[in-house]
Amino acid sequence: MSLSRFQINKWPKRHAHVVEACQALDVRDVLPSLDPPERTTLQSWSVPTHPSLTLVRRDAGPFVRWWFLCPRCQRRCETLFIPPDVSGEDWRCRGCVCHGGLVYASQRHGHRHPLRQRLTPRKRVGRAKAADRLRREEVRARRPRDTVRTMQPSARSGDSEPSAVRVSDEKVIVIEVPRFGVEAPPIEQRVRVMSRAALEEEQRAQMAPRNALRALLEEDAEWNARFLREHPESRDVRVQAARLLARLSKRL
């Protein structure tokens, strides 16, 4: 068999091209030119910039997706490609571009090939979503600080005047909640209007007996721990007493 005949009859090369080396056209590149009202009524649409291409609509539950129809095999696809050795508007899907279909540069040449630096349609979508997510997180992070600044304006700004009412003179409404199982008096007897300073003073007076009892309990626990650390014969008891004394010293 001569060489020229072998060249004619040989099998085509599998995966002759890679995705990064082909010209790509994604659905998201042409769909913005379709009016939103028509997206809900039309079932198919011809792209004005590419008359040979047709988009079809498919309903997926509450969502609507648009797909390209491959001009060669009529298969629904998200992206069409033109091989680098073909000129003109010869758009094809990944399976029709070459024998065996298109593969990525990392699948054919490895992860360090320079072609991997080119953005594929999926990479563009992923990076756009990541940028939108970071932008939303930045806005969400700035929102509480903006709220605090608007609620508490600076006294140095000329637009806002410092409030003449002090925080201690602010009036608050206090509603007493009865304990469980105790008959509650009428709501009129449980509602009081008092200043914030008086409320804080009343809360400190209510917490004073509890704080005194807590101090006595801590002192008693410290005395018991010292006694157990010095007198008992059990080594484990002495170790636990030493740990308790260490915790009490840190708390005090």
| Phi and psi angles of residue 17, each rounded to the nearest 5 degrees, phi first | -130, 165
Scan for tokens 């400190």, then name that residue: 204
User: How far are the Cα atoms of 31, 147, 163, 179 from residue 158, in angstroms, in the given order?
Assistant: 50, 19, 13, 50
Tell me, what's the pLDDT at 148?
42
Cα separation, 200 vs 193, in Å, equals 13
Task: Of 218, 217, 16, 200, give the one whose Cα is nearest residue 100.
Answer: 16
Averaged pLDDT, 6-34: 76
Q: Are 119 and 101 in contact (CB under 8 A)?
A: no
Mean pLDDT of the chain: 76
Scan for tokens 């020229």, then name that residue: 4
Q: Are 80 and 24 in contact (CB under 8 A)?
A: yes
- At position 21, the amino acid (one-letter code) is A
Give the model's confidence band at 76: pLDDT under 50 very low, under 70 low, under 90 confident, else very high.
Answer: very high
Cα separation, 131 vs 142, in Å, equals 17
Averaged pLDDT, 116-137: 80
Q: Are 81 and 89 in contact (CB under 8 A)?
A: no
Tell me, what's the pLDDT at 55?
92
Tell me, what's the pLDDT at 162?
47
Q: H helices then E strands: how many in the chain?
A: 9, 8
Residue 247 has pLDDT above 90, yes or no: no
Residue 80 has pLDDT above 90, yes or no: yes
Tell me, what's the pLDDT at 3?
54
**Lowest-pLDDT choice from 22-26, 46-50, 170-174:** 170-174
Tell me, what's the pLDDT at 70?
93
Residue 31 has pLDDT above 70, yes or no: yes
Summarize pLDDT for 36-68 with one digit per residue, the tens. 888 888 889 998 888 889 999 988 777 888 999
User: In sequence order, which ranges of the chain are alpha helices (DSSP H)?
Assistant: 3-9, 27-30, 36-39, 94-97, 105-108, 121-151, 187-190, 196-230, 235-251
